[in-house]
Structure 1
Amino acid sequence: MPQFLTQVIEFSSLRKGVRYGSKVKTGCITCKTRRIRCSEEKPSCVKCTSTGRNCEGYRKNKGPVRHKDVQNPAQRSITQHESPAQTVDILAEYGDGLQYLEFYHHCVGRTIATTFDSNFWCNIAPRMAQSEPSVRHALMALGYFNKATTGSLKNARLSDERHETLFYHYNKSVRSLIERMKQISFDPEVGLVTCVLFVCIEFLRGDFITAFTHLQNGLKMIKEWHYRRTCRQPPKEGERPKLRAIVHSALESNDTMTELVPLFFRTTTVALLFGVRAEKIVEISPAIPRRFQFKPFHDVWEARAVSLDFQNAALIFTRDNSPRVFPVQPLTGEALKTQESILESHRSWRRAFEAFERSTTLSPAEQITVNELKAGYHCTYFSVSCITWVEQSGYDQYLWAYKEIIEHTKFVFDAKGLPERSPPTLTEPLLVSKPNGYRGPPPREGSVRHEKPSANFSFEVVLLPCLYFVIQRCRDPVTRREALALMERNPPREALLDYEMAAIAARRVIEIEETTLDPKTGWPVEQTRLWHGVVDGTIDSDGGFWIMFSNAYWIAGGGPQNEEEEYLCKVPRDPTDFRGRVDSQWQEYYKLGD
């Protein structure tokens, strides 16, 4: 039986030396707005044309220039940049691998990319692949796996023996990178680009341990690059640079680092959702910079960059301060200060963002981004503000926020052309019991999966946590079913988060909570409401996974008070699909559909 191995690269040190000159004030409009040094050729500078950007020329008068990032969707094959003799050598060396590189060029890059990172996936990585074998083989592996899988976690977890091509090119990329790092001409950008591709491959495979190991190594590499960039001495033991300072260094450097550094920190959000303590590598501040508190943002890219700090800080805060002892204890004085700092940062960001919206006309792509940012704002703000609430009826006052999240998400899904799906009716059964612990939604009109030429997958987490937050905290039966219908429109899997798994969990959450309804409101009573329904990220080869549930009424009182309360929610007793505990939690087993 063949065995396939992957390695995790440790970046021990970077090449010394200053590679970047001081800023110039006479550059082209595009370079000045991107805050990089312009090469100043006329009529179009090489800095722009070599990266596929549109050079907007030069202007005599001084004044603010609105950022405009023109993307070049046309991708060219590696063989189009070589001489005929070189092309023959390349075809002989890479063989069938070139078809997967071509597939990446034409299909994968544009489906993986989001508004913020399309230049990386569609321009930077393919261009670097022309000269760097590690990047070239990583793109071949990524192209192959996107073509060979659907994008669902169940499909990703099939036996690795079926994907020899993936591991061939993956391991070739690893070995090429190791050899490249030994050379004096090694550029840290090569290591970081390859690292991003490794993380993406592991996200697709559903291997979060290896993915986050690569991510942490990339963050360490960025940290070291930042210290060299700022001409500082090596950091002391335990010293961490601020995320905000690193992003500033990247914006002041060359074009590639300007794209790479924010991409790494957006990916850090995924790691934080899985409990990775990325803040041990870089300092993530809960406070928004004062310069953004009283003026509108320049563009949506700036708005997203500013939100990185405090939204990631919000995830850290909820992870570290979610109640673990019951009855729930109040937050400490220090935690209260952090909570208020995070909430005030959200409010300041919202004021600046609204001012930006009033002062500009948004393009269709920017409108999608704006709705994604607003949905994320509501999710993190209310998660932080209500962190110690055990009585779930308190969340009912935020129905307007849940409706806004749904409205923003629907706008995004409609704009992306996802297939429509009507919400389940109030009388429709939410789960259908089947043998071996399987529970899934009953077949309904419009449930056919929307097929794409490559895996239905995106690299970043954007909207799935927002929809699941609505499902867990909104008890209005109509509104939460609208959120469920959005989950089931078959959006691309977001990094390691699978919409199909989340939809099964959401249906079970609704079913449990609606066991008993208030006769006046038609909403679930407090006794049946859940504290949480957490999906285990691990999935077996049969597509099976576990969901942990916890009843909020038990937690508020410190545990079940009698036998009647102990099994109030009528959880299953079959040991093949149920794990009970002595406290208020239990687990249930489910399987993904075929």
Structure 2
Amino acid sequence: MKPQMHAATALPQGANATGTLNIDYLLSLILCLPGLDSDERRCLQFFEHNTIPMLVGEPAVCHAVVALSAFHEDYERSIKALKSKPDHRHHHFALEQYNRSMAMLRRRIQSNDPQVRGITLMCCITFIILELLEGDYTNAFAHLQQGLNILKTQSAKHALTTERILAKAFLQLNTPRAYWNGPDVVVTGHPPKGSVREVTYEVTPIHSIVEAKERLRVLMNNIFHLQSLCNIFFRGEQDPHLNTLTLSAKQTALHHDLTDFTLDLKSFISSHKSNTAWTLRETRSVDVILTHVATLTSMLGCSLDTTELGYDNFLPEFKRINDLCERIIATFVTEYGSYENLPTMVTDIGVLPSLFWCCVRCRDTETRERALQLLKVWPHREGFYDSYLIVNICRGLIDLEDEGRDDEGFIPREYRVHTHMIEVAEDRRSMIIRYVMAGGEGGEQERAVVLE
């Protein structure tokens, strides 16, 4: 992803006489790489048939991709800031490309070309990732919302293939956004009202990893939706459609859906093992899905529990999350050769949300501490999740609850945090934890924490 510099007298293989890379040549090399799974080939083919033509014919997309590449290189440099001085010229170039893309996109939007929607969505996705690399959640959320607004203006059955694929990417980004309350760096333990909308869940057969991911993504979205409804109800907000009976019915229906998905996933895994061996990346993809299943199981099981004590019954799931995440990280280390070479930015959801959940909701000291250590071994981003920020949030919440831990290691209900909201200072040197204990005794309290 990083732009590479080459001497003028030594063009890279696949470049023409003008120094321009031959995209078809490079893609043919990439698609022949050993170990590519079906998901990776599908994404590369989408890149070949959709993104590349836009790069050639659409300056707005071209400059957006150049800006993203430059920001990514700048982000990688900043990770090693202690070893080298920041390159302000490089950052200025990235901003210049970003601004050129925005200006050209504004002019392009004025046309009546039916391709404009897809071009705008492609730019929005690129801008979101770009802003996340910059740590600017306000702009990232603004671009995400603009993309969602565009998708609302046309039904899925009338959308072009490119738009349908991009719509899935927006759903993937929007689901975890529920835990960021508003456009600022404010992290909440319960998604607020309207942050996640229910999506139609279809029970489709699982014949591939990508089909399993798509089915689970919708299910995950709907479980987050239930959480937001429970949060509204327990806060005492007036809503005639919300009561214990309706919420319990939704919980039961989702539990049935999650159980069916788990059984179908197990059948798929068993049938695949009997035919061919998994590649390293396929194994990792399956482990990520299993991690999310374990996370959603405890999340759904305790969605109506205001005591926080119910999570103690899900200790096996929390331990499984740790085991799977450790295995996932190990596959990355195997692939990249060392911890130092691990990627610093991953656009898909991986280990961070589940380890975050384990640290916050598991009160077993050993399991909780292990999850925290796993968060520390690999500093990186997964979409909106930043491991540095998550580690500090978890440390603050754990310290809060440990103050009430008794001699036997048990944390009583009144010392367990039920809801929390974290506001990070603009300079990212400190944060405020606003929290309510299980049972609501004491009302909302707050504590200032210095970020390490």
TM-score bracket, normalised by the shorter chain, equals: 0.7 to 0.9
**Per-residue deviation at 1:517?**
3.8
2:430–2:448: 8 Å Cα contact kept in structure 1? no
Residue 586 (str. 1) matches residue 446 (str. 2): yes
**Per-residue deviation at 1:416?**
0.6
Q: 1:151/1:127 Cα in 2 relative to 1: closer, same or farther (>3 Å)?
A: farther
Selected match of 1:262 from 147, 168, 193: 168
1:284 is aligned to 198
1:349 is aligned to 261
1:180 is aligned to 108
**Per-residue deviation at 1:519?**
3.6
Moved more, 390-399 or 352-361: 390-399
**Per-residue deviation at 1:509?**
2.6
In 2: Cα distance, 1:207 partner to 1:149 partner: 13
Q: What letter is aligned with 1:523?
A: F
Q: 1:83/1:214 Cα in 2 relative to 1: closer, same or farther (>3 Å)?
A: same
Aligned length: 404
In 1: Cα distance, 2:215 partner to 2:193 partner: 17
Deviation per residue, 1:50-77 (Å, 9 max, x gap): xxxxxxxxxxxxxxxxxxxxxxxxx9x9
1:151–1:457: 8 Å Cα contact kept in structure 2? no
2:187 is aligned to none
Selected match of 1:272 from 178, 181, 194: 178
1:321–1:331: 8 Å Cα contact kept in structure 2? no
2:151–2:167: 8 Å Cα contact kept in structure 1? yes
**Per-residue deviation at 1:344?**
1.7
Q: 1:307/1:172 Cα in 2 relative to 1: closer, same or farther (>3 Å)?
A: same
In 2: Cα distance, 1:161 partner to 1:278 partner: 41
* Structure number with larger C-alpha Rg: 1
Selected match of 1:226 from 125, 149, 155: 155
**Per-residue deviation at 1:331?**
4.0
Q: Unpaired runs of 5+ in structure 2?
A: 31-37, 183-190
Deviation per residue, 1:329-363 (Å, 9 max, x gap): x9433322222222222112111111111111333
**Per-residue deviation at 1:399?**
0.7
**Per-residue deviation at 1:225?**
4.3
Deviation per residue, 1:225-281 (Å, 9 max, x gap): 436x53xxxxxxxxxxxxxxxxxx6xxx64x44532321211111322324799979
In 1: Cα distance, 2:403 partner to 2:67 partner: 48
**Per-residue deviation at 1:403?**
0.8
1:407 is aligned to 323
1:477–1:523: 8 Å Cα contact kept in structure 2? no
Residue 507 (str. 1) matches residue 360 (str. 2): no
In 1: Cα distance, 2:267 partner to 2:339 partner: 40
In 1: Cα distance, 2:125 partner to 2:414 partner: 46
Selected match of 1:543 from 413, 429, 442: 429
**Per-residue deviation at 1:467?**
0.9
Deviation per residue, 1:555-583 (Å, 9 max, x gap): x1x424xxxxxxxxxxxxxxxxxxxxxx3
Q: Unpaired runs of 5+ in structure 1?
A: 1-74, 92-101, 107-113, 231-248, 420-447, 561-582
In 1: Cα distance, 2:43 partner to 2:386 partner: 22
Residue 389 (str. 1) matches residue 277 (str. 2): no
Highest RCO, 1 vs 2 (Cα 8 Å, sep ≥ 6): 1
Selected match of 1:480 from 359, 368, 371: 368
1:146 is aligned to 72
2:121–2:163: 8 Å Cα contact kept in structure 1? no
1:458 is aligned to 346
**Per-residue deviation at 1:126?**
4.7
In 2: Cα distance, 1:135 partner to 1:417 partner: 33
Q: What letter is aligned with 2:400?
A: I
Q: What letter is aligned with 2:209?
A: V
RMSD after superposition: 4.0
Q: 1:589/1:476 Cα in 2 relative to 1: closer, same or farther (>3 Å)?
A: closer
Counterparts of residues 47-446 of structure 1 (less than 5 Å): 87=18, 118-119=43-44, 123=48, 124-126=50-52, 128-150=54-76, 163-185=91-113, 187=115, 188-226=117-155, 229-230=157-158, 254=161, 256-257=162-163, 259-275=165-181, 284-285=198-199, 288-289=201-202, 291-292=203-204, 296-322=205-231, 323-325=234-236, 331-361=243-273, 362-417=278-333
Deviation per residue, 1:519-546 (Å, 9 max, x gap): 44x333444332245433x442253333
**Per-residue deviation at 1:288?**
3.5
More helix by share: 2
Q: 1:212/1:357 Cα in 2 relative to 1: closer, same or farther (>3 Å)?
A: same
Deviation per residue, 1:378-430 (Å, 9 max, x gap): 222322331232323332111101011111111111101189xxxxxxxxxxx
Q: What letter is aligned with 1:367?
A: T
Q: 1:469/1:281 Cα in 2 relative to 1: closer, same or farther (>3 Å)?
A: closer
Q: What letter is aligned with 1:320?
A: L
Q: 1:533/1:127 Cα in 2 relative to 1: closer, same or farther (>3 Å)?
A: same
Q: What letter is aligned with 1:301?
A: V
2:196–2:224: 8 Å Cα contact kept in structure 1? no
Deviation per residue, 1:413-471 (Å, 9 max, x gap): 1101189xxxxxxxxxxxxxxxxxxxxxxxxxxxx98366xx71122333222112111
2:197–2:225: 8 Å Cα contact kept in structure 1? no
Residue 559 (str. 1) matches residue 446 (str. 2): no
Q: 1:193/1:82 Cα in 2 relative to 1: closer, same or farther (>3 Å)?
A: farther
**Per-residue deviation at 1:205?**
1.9
1:152–1:456: 8 Å Cα contact kept in structure 2? no
Three-state SS of the structure 1 residue aligned to 2:340 is coil
In 2: Cα distance, 1:260 partner to 1:163 partner: 28
Three-state SS of the structure 2 residue aligned to 1:589 is strand
**Per-residue deviation at 1:168?**
0.9
**Per-residue deviation at 1:503?**
1.3
Moved more, 217-226 or 271-280: 271-280
**Per-residue deviation at 1:221?**
2.6
Three-state SS of the structure 2 residue aligned to 1:546 is strand
1:529–1:551: 8 Å Cα contact kept in structure 2? yes
Three-state SS of the structure 2 residue aligned to 1:548 is strand
1:56 is aligned to none
In 2: Cα distance, 1:216 partner to 1:151 partner: 30
1:204–1:496: 8 Å Cα contact kept in structure 2? no
Three-state SS of the structure 2 residue aligned to 1:359 is helix
1:378–1:401: 8 Å Cα contact kept in structure 2? yes
Q: 1:331/1:147 Cα in 2 relative to 1: closer, same or farther (>3 Å)?
A: same
Three-state SS of the structure 1 residue aligned to 2:57 is coil
In 1: Cα distance, 2:285 partner to 2:425 partner: 31
In 2: Cα distance, 1:591 partner to 1:220 partner: 35
Amino-acid identity (%): 21
2:318–2:358: 8 Å Cα contact kept in structure 1? yes
